[in-house]
Every structure is written in structure tokens, then in C-alpha cells.
Chain A
Amino acid sequence: MGFYIVQFLTGLSDAASLFLVAAGLSLIFGVSRIVNMAHGSFYMLGAYIAYFIIAALPHTALSFWGGILLATLAVGVIGVIVEIFLLRRLYQSWELFLLMATFAVLLVIQDLARWAFGPEDLMGPMAPGLEGSINIFGALMPVYDLVLIIAAPVVLLALWLLLTKTRWGILVRAATEDREMLAALGVNQKWLFTSVFFIGSLLAGLGGAIQLPKGGADLLMDMNVIAAAFVIVVVGGMGSIPGALLAAIIIGELGSFGVLFLPQSTLVMMFLVMAVVLVIRPYGLMGKPETEGGAGESFESILRPAPRKLRIIGLILLAIIILFPAFAGKYQMTLFGEIAMFALACMSLYFMMGPGGMVSFGHAAFFGGGAYAAALLVHHAHTPMELALFLAPIAMGLLALIIGWFCVRLSGVYLAMLTLAFAQICWSIVFQWSGFTGGDDGILGIWPAKWASNEVVFYYLTMLISIGGILLLRHLLFTPFGYTMRACRDSRLRADSIGINVTRHQWFSFAVAGVFAGLAGGIYVFSKGSVFPDEMSIPRSFDILLSVLLGGIESITGPIVGSTAFIWLEDKISNLDFWRLILGCIYIVLVLAFPQGIGGFFGTKFGHFFANESEKTDGIT
């Protein structure tokens, strides 16, 4: 009896910690539509700052709670600084571009924290007076867990009062409902957003600080908490604070009781819950459908076949690529090949994200999945390379058909999070099924066939597949299918009313994206010789997403430019100490300088120069 009560209370206290982090994230998203990747970093900062304040003071209850309060406020202020100096400049651009900016902040904070707080893990101090445990029917329960269980409803109540009983709260709720209308009514949104960001970051800081007695502070906690926080927010319904609490309780309790029956389930439990909830309730447990026609869609520009001058530049580039082995070293060829493969993967994501209008946070499932499909075929069935390269994209197309069937019923961030959930489920299958997939020891010894093992030959093969794939995807955009796809994105309602099956078109474009990502993954595994579950993991998905955003989704050249910049930067910078700080700063400069992505920037700057004569008179820029 006591055992089950304690197990239940343990689940509740886990839920409370999760809720504190997720509440701030949900609030920020609800109002500003920012997918705030830096939220985990604020959580980490809260833990570190509180640790050092408490360590500097004598160990009393006053200094402990005072330290937590100070750290919480400090993180709120840091959030405000980030908002004023970075995010505020970007509200005009595409929503997901803000994701990239917050990702850059995450990189910067990671390295700054290492520099400021040192590489060692820190064990959190105990709360004075609350160090012990109490006996519940024969089972011991730490007192501090009970404090956490009380803290969550207190925070919920405070937020509820703030949101319903103050003018500020009314404005926030109005902004969550309809931003444009609120602006039209003359409300200064600038400071509203800043204040929301303050409260949101403050909650993240509080979450980090208050968990100190349960754990401590370390440099990995930002990444470790962010996925969980997103899952809670989405399961609860984005923008819904009570929903976040409900979701946190469900996930906390399932985690707590799950380990009793299935100790191996720890990797995937949360994501299974998210997948099930989103399939049944597309807007989370307590969320509302997203309002149609957000800022994202008006930002799209019309796609046109490349003008003649740009085509000439493309041909010159192609000539350089063909002649490259004549004057380049082995390593440059490897790097170029990797850029090309990655560009194909990015292009496939762009295909569903830009013209398809569906953002994916889990594209690595198809990229890594393609790599695994090829590797498994070679490893278990001794399939020749050529056949494996042919079958891998087909397998990924089928996988995308299955996953896509569920995903296209959703839209916006919910769709993106469902792709993430499926990607994580695929990842955990590969990770856990070590008898078949090798688990995290991966599959080794997947090298190209004999005729292609020469570096130059393999370079040409890579280029043929990657550039061929990119051109084919480009071609698809200008077929009737491509035009229909774009029509579905631009106006779902109108497309529907002229008899287009919107969902089916989205489903097929999802599958096409899967096929080409699988192709990129297939050739990738032969260039590396081995594949590990990392290639399917969340960070990999974000690598691909970031590259697409870096290039901008306004033109077809975007993903190519983006992936080139991504691989090249990573290769150049990783020589240096604190390279993530530098990379983060470069990203920040890039998003500020090119709010439409690098490719988009050149499109608007030099588009006029490239445009054909007839288009110039149309006044298209």
C-alpha cells in the first residue's frame, strides 16, 4: 500500500518539476509563437546561478530560498536581454526563423556556461530544514518531493491569477487568441512580448533552481530537459497552462509506474504518449486549433524557374564540381561529397517545408533511416551497393507513407512535434533492438562496391546521386503535382473547394521527402562506412532543419546554400576552443543580417539583376 502511494507521489513530484519548465515554454509559445530552443538553457542557468549564490552564503533556510529567488529573477532578466537585443528584431520574419535564433542562443549559453561555471558536475545543496524523509505506510518519501508537489499548483494558481485578474493577463490572453487584432486596437505589443518572455524565462530559471536539492547543475541539463518540456507543452496543448500540468502529471506518473513493469521503456515512454495523444487529439489535450493564416504563410514568395543568368551560374558551378577532382585533394573531395549529400537531405526537407508547408522536426528518421536500411541490407542480406542504394529510398518512402498518414492530419507545430515523436520512436527501436540493428554499437563495415571504392569514382557517384536528386526534386516542384502542392499550402480552403484532395497531396509530398532523404542517407552510409543511431536522433533532425533555415526557405537555392554553410562552418570552426560560442555568434549575426536566410537575402538583393526581361516589368522582386 505504502509502496504504491509513494510511487504515485514520486511521479507527482517529477511531474511538478516538469511542469515548472514547461509552463514558461507554453506561455511564451502561446503569445509569441516562438519555439524557444533556449528554454532549456535558461533552466540550466537557473540551476547554476542558484548554486553559486547559495554556496556563497551561509547555509540557512533564508539564504537557500533567497538564492533560488535571486537566481529566478536573474534568469528572467537574461531572458529579457535576449528578447530585446535579438528576438525583437525578428518578429517580422518567419516564425521558424526565431527557432534558429533561439538555437544560436542555446549554443552561446552552452559554451559561456562552461567558461563561467567550469566543466565539473555540481551536486545541489539540500534545502535546510527539509533534508529528511517521512514514513508513509512503511515507505520513505523525501520531504522535498512534497515541497515540489505543492510548488506546482502554487505556480499554476499564481499564473492563473496573473492571467485572469490583471490587465496584463487580459492582454496576454488576447494576444494568444489574435495578435493582429490586438495590435490593431493599439496595444504596444513590444513590451507585452518582452514581459511574457520575462515571465517565461523566469519560470525556466525557477524550474532549474528549485530542482537543485533533487540533482544539481551540469552542462548537459539544457539539452536533457528541452525535449521533455516540448513534449509536455504539446501534449497539454500549446499555450494552455492547465494542459501543461495535466500532461506533466500523465507523463510523470507513467514514468513512475512504467519502470515497474517495463524497465527498458525509459527511452521512449514520453514520445509514445505524445504520438498517441496527437493522433487522437491533434491540438493536444487542452489546446485550441491554431488560427489560420499566421505570419508564416504570407512570408512565402512565389517560386519561379531560375532565370537565365542564374542558370548560367548554376552551369558554371556544375562545371567546377565536375572538374574538381583534377585540382583538389582527397579531403576536399570528401568534404564536397558530404556537403552534396547533406544538401540533398536538406532539399528533401525543404520540399515538404517550403512548398509543402509542413515543418518537420524529425527528418533524421528518414535520413538516418535510409542509412540504416542500406546498412541492414548489406549487413544481413549481403545486398550489393547498387541495389541497397535503390531499396533504401523505397523503404523510406514506405516509412514516410506510414508516418505521414498520421502527420498530415495535423498542422503547424503540432505536425512538427508528431514527426519528432515518430522519429524518436524509430530511433529507440534501432537503439534497443541490438540483435538486429547492432544497438548503439551500430553497423560497421558498410563500404562501397569495388568499382566505386576509388575516391574519385565515389566522388562522382555521390555527386550524380545528390545533384540528380536535387534536380529531380526541383523538377517535381514545377510539375502539376508541385503546383497543386503549393496551392494546398497557400489556401487550403480554396484548393479544397476546386476539388483537390489536400490531405492526399500533402501525404504524397511527405512521402517524396522521405524517399529523397532516404537516398541521401543511403549514399551517406557508404561514405562513412558505419552507421549509428545518432544519425536518427533529435540533434540530427535539427542539423537538417537548421541548415534549411540558414539558407532560407524562399528559394530553391536556399537549402543548398544552407547546407554548404552548415557543413563548412562546422568543419572549419571545430578546430577552435569554445567553437560553439563562435558558431552561435555567427548564427546570430546571420539571422540578424539575413532575416530571410542567406539564399533569400541574395534572392532579394540580386534577384533583380538575374530576373528575365519580361519579369522585370512585372515588378517582381
Chain B
Amino acid sequence: MKASKTVLTAILVLCLTMLFGIPSVFAEGTIKVGEINTYSKLTNFTFPYRNGWKLALEEINKSGGINGKKLEVVSRDDAGKPGNAVRIAKELVTKDKVVLLMGSFFSHVGLALTDFAKRNKVFYLAAEPLSDAVVWAKGNRYTFRLRPSTYMQAAMLADEAAKNPAKRWATIAPNYAYGKDAVKAFKKVLKAKRPDVTFVAEQWPALFKINAGAEIQALKRANPEAIFNVTFGSDLAKFVREGKLRGFFKGKFVASLLTGEPEYLDPLKGEAPVGWLVTGYPWYAIKTKAHTKFLKAYQAKYNTYPRTGSVVGYEMMMSIAHMLKKAKSTDTEKMVDAMEGLTFNGVFGPITYRKIDHQSTMGAYVGYTALKDGKGIMVKWKYCDGKNYLPSDAEVKKLRP
């Protein structure tokens, strides 16, 4: 017993010395940027995302870096805790001397960093967080956002859904800000186009704890003609399976947010729903030059196909590179000025960071789901440019502080 204790103590001491020994390399002639994301959770999004920005980083440095300087990324895991993210942000800025921050997945982590950026006057590019507040209610001079927001994606769906004759709608969305915002935006845009539409039932399952059978029954009782679904991940799988078994989707039109993204559609395999209106990313069918180039490079490097996260990571890194080239400086104010109105050709299409609210105009693909070779795919899709699905400038001005 004594001996094993000594061994254990020895192992412990060894572990701790190893931790102390992590070196922080600082090379001359590099531009360091900080990246924070939730790598220990939601790995089905964050891992492809990391692959994406690493690919972009490689391409940037291979083609000569930024005005002759190499770009370097210091990447950290926030474990999905906003408090951790703020602490890491401080560490990155003061200890690692990064010139800007980027990343994050969860909306609340993104918002914590938004506020940090405002307070400390640090440039921050929010990659994924969908919350409208990042650029509107809590928007500030130092924060930009890449992905089309909850509002934009819901608006894209509502635009297409308005063409369907269904009048009685029911909604099901996870019980937190993203779900609530999505339902609110969808209702607003659909009602504006179709005043005859009514919403007859709603369900709010706890995130990743859906009570699928009971909630489907409850929705079914209201006898809706169409469903707006916001659940994703394991909730979506349960919703789809239970819905089929209980004959819920028969004769109903379904509009579903994010369901066409490979992250969420592929796990459903042969049970993927057919004929749902979805937003997503049909990587197998996009034939544009920019996308083909990206797809080839991605598949060559990682031996797998890209997910939506991959594109988000890639475009985030590219946005930073374009901005830095334009700014010719790592001074925060100059970087912000360069980012405002920055336009470049992205994988999906041209992207502009709007001066008015710092939202990028990156879009999403809207189409219908289908089955092919036992796998869910998107068909009859079109690319919706983000710039067409934002409220008017006057409205945006009112939304920003």
C-alpha cells in the first residue's frame, strides 16, 4: 500500500511538471490570432469546423501569408462555459498577445465574448453563434458575425414556406433562446407574407431531452396542416422516428431549420425525411468553381467530406486573412475599419460584412429533402444570399444600441 502510494505521487508529480512544461512559442514575423471554441462538446460540429480553418490557414500561409507575414492561430477550448471563454480571451490577449479573437459555437458564449470585445476594444469575429443579439441588441463596433443568423435562416425558410397553401401551422423548438428566436422570426416573416396563416400549437422540449412521443401526440391533437421544426441533433432523430411511427407527418408539410446540414441529416441515414423544406448544405451537388476547389482540397487533406462546420471554419479564417490584407495593420481600429464593408468571394458566393450591423451576407441553401441510396440529400435547392433576408436598414438601425 505504501509503495503504491509513492508510485501514485510520483505519477502525479510527473503529470504536473509536464503541464508546466508546455512551451509557448513566439516566432518573429508572425501575426497571431486567437481562436476559442467548444471542442470538448458538440464535437460533430466543432471538429469539422477546426478542419475547415486549419485548411484555410494552410492555404493562406502557402500562398505567402499576410503581406509577407505568417499567420498563426492559438486555439483554445471553452468547454461551453461563458466564464471560461472570457478568461481565455483575457489570456489570449494579454499573455499570448493575439491581435484579434474569433470562433465560438454557443450563442451565450458568443455574447460573453461580444461584451468582452466591446469592453476591451478587441476585434472579435463570431463564427457560428446564431443569436440575433450578437449583431443587433448587443452589437458593438468590435464584433462581427459570419454565419447567417437565426433570423436570416428562419426568414429563408418562411419565404419558401409561404408558397405552400397550408394555413394551420404548429411549431416545435428547443426550449432556449435559439429555438424561441427562430419561432418568433419564422412567425413574423410568414405572417407578413400570408396573413391568413394561424399558429395552432407549440411544443418546447428541453434541449437534447425531447419527450418525442408525448409532444408529437400533443401537436397532432391540434390537427395542423404544416409543422415548423427547430429541433436538431439527437432530438431531431427521435422526432423523425417517433413521428413516422405515429403517422404524424402523413399529409403534412414540414419546414425544418438546419436539417439539411450534413451534421444533422446524415445520422438519420435511410430514415431521413422526404419532402421537408430545409436549410442546409448540399456539398455533393454544388458545382460552382469556388466550391469544387474547396471540396477537392478538403477531401484530399481529411479523406472525408466537408460539413457545414467545415465551411464556417474555412470562411472565418479567410475573412480574417482578407481583412488583415486590407487593413495592412494589426491595430484594432484599423482592422475594424477594414472589416466594415469587406467583400470577397467565398465558397458559397460573395460575402460582404455589412457596415450597418457587422453581419456578413453569407447565405445558406434552401431545398427539399429526398432519399438517395439510403441516405438523405437535398434536392431542388437554391442558394439564398444572406443580403436578401435581412430586415430593412431602418429596422436594423432601431435594433442596434
Partners in one complex: yes
In the complex, the answer to whether B238 meets A330 with C-beta atoms within 8 Å is: no
What 1/0 flags go to B104-129 for Cβ under 8 Å of A? 00011001101110110000000000
In the complex, the answer to whether A589 meets B214 with C-beta atoms within 8 Å is: no
In the complex, the answer to whether A529 meets B107 with C-beta atoms within 8 Å is: no
Of A62-70, A194-202, A236-244, A568-576, the one contacting chain B is A568-576
Residues of B contacting A573 in the complex (Cβ-Cβ under 8 angstroms): 19
In the complex, the answer to whether B213 meets A529 with C-beta atoms within 8 Å is: no
Residues of A contacting B233 in the complex (Cβ-Cβ under 8 angstroms): 121, 218
Interface positions of B from 256 to 295, Cβ below 8 Å from A = 266-269, 271
In the complex, the answer to whether B131 meets A444 with C-beta atoms within 8 Å is: no
A267 sits at the interface (CB 8 A): yes
Residues of B contacting A335 in the complex (Cβ-Cβ under 8 angstroms): 87, 91
In the complex, the answer to whether B211 meets A266 with C-beta atoms within 8 Å is: yes
B297 sits at the interface (CB 8 A): no
In the complex, the answer to whether B205 meets A266 with C-beta atoms within 8 Å is: yes
B245 sits at the interface (CB 8 A): yes
In the complex, the answer to whether B267 meets A122 with C-beta atoms within 8 Å is: yes
In the complex, what distance in Å separates the CA atom of A172 from the CA atom of B215? Answer: 40
In the complex, what distance in Å separates the CA atom of A216 from the CA atom of B95? Answer: 43
Q: Chain B interface secondary structure, helix, strand, loop or mixed?
A: helix
A256 sits at the interface (CB 8 A): yes
In the complex, the answer to whether B12 meets A140 with C-beta atoms within 8 Å is: no
In the complex, the answer to whether A529 meets B86 with C-beta atoms within 8 Å is: yes
Contact of B215 among A6, A119, A259, A267 (CB under 8 A): A259
Closest-by-CB residue of A relative to B91 is A331
In the complex, the answer to whether B22 meets A121 with C-beta atoms within 8 Å is: no
In the complex, the answer to whether B245 meets A142 with C-beta atoms within 8 Å is: yes
Q: A133-B245, A335-B87 are in contact. Are A14 and B8 (CB under 8 A)?
A: no
Closest-by-CB residue of B relative to A260 is B218
In the assembled complex, how far is the CB of residue B344 from the closest CB belonging to chain A, in whole angstroms? 30
A500 sits at the interface (CB 8 A): no
In the complex, what distance in Å separates the CA atom of A111 from the CA atom of B39? Answer: 11
What 1/0 flags go to B200-243 for Cβ under 8 Å of A? 00111110110111110110010000000000011001100110
A484 sits at the interface (CB 8 A): no
In the complex, the answer to whether B131 meets A263 with C-beta atoms within 8 Å is: no
A93 sits at the interface (CB 8 A): no
Residues of B contacting A255 in the complex (Cβ-Cβ under 8 angstroms): 211, 214
A308 sits at the interface (CB 8 A): no
Residues of B contacting A256 in the complex (Cβ-Cβ under 8 angstroms): 211, 213-214
In the complex, what distance in Å separates the CA atom of A524 from the CA atom of B83? Answer: 9
Residues of B contacting A295 in the complex (Cβ-Cβ under 8 angstroms): none
Residues of B contacting A141 in the complex (Cβ-Cβ under 8 angstroms): 246
In the complex, what distance in Å separates the CA atom of A214 from the CA atom of B235? Answer: 11
In the complex, the answer to whether A145 meets B213 with C-beta atoms within 8 Å is: yes
Closest-by-CB residue of B relative to A256 is B214
A-B pairs under 8 A by CB, number: 211
In the complex, the answer to whether B86 meets A140 with C-beta atoms within 8 Å is: no
B63 sits at the interface (CB 8 A): no
A445 sits at the interface (CB 8 A): yes
In the complex, what distance in Å separates the CA atom of A122 from the CA atom of B268? Answer: 8
B381 sits at the interface (CB 8 A): no
A506 sits at the interface (CB 8 A): no
Residues of B contacting A182 in the complex (Cβ-Cβ under 8 angstroms): none
Closest-by-CB residue of A relative to B80 is A534
A530 sits at the interface (CB 8 A): yes
Residues of A contacting B119 in the complex (Cβ-Cβ under 8 angstroms): 445, 447, 529
B329 sits at the interface (CB 8 A): no
What 1/0 flags go to B67-89 for Cβ under 8 Å of A? 00000000011110111101110
Closest-by-CB residue of A relative to B96 is A331
Contact of A266 among B87, B111, B206 (CB under 8 A): B206
What 1/0 flags go to A555-593 for Cβ under 8 Å of B? 000000000000001111111010110100110011011
B372 sits at the interface (CB 8 A): no
Residues of B contacting A441 in the complex (Cβ-Cβ under 8 angstroms): 107-108, 111, 131, 133, 138, 177
Most chain B Cβ neighbours within 10 Å, of A3, A530, A589: A530
Residues of A contacting B84 in the complex (Cβ-Cβ under 8 angstroms): 570, 574
* Interface, chain B (partner A; CB < 8 A): 4-5, 8-9, 11-12, 15, 19, 22, 39-41, 43-44, 47, 76-79, 81-84, 86-88, 90-91, 94-95, 107-108, 111-112, 114-116, 118-119, 131, 133, 138, 175-177, 180, 202-206, 208-209, 211-215, 217-218, 221, 233-234, 237-238, 241-242, 245-247, 266-269, 271
- Which 3 A-B residue pairings sit nearest by Cβ, starting from the closest? A119-B43, A10-B213, A142-B245
Besides the known contacts A14-B214, A441-B177, A528-B83, 14 further A-B residue pairs in the complex with CB atoms under 8 A apart: A3-B217, A123-B237, A133-B246, A214-B242, A260-B221, A441-B131, A524-B83, A529-B112, A529-B119, A534-B81, A534-B108, A571-B91, A579-B40, A580-B40
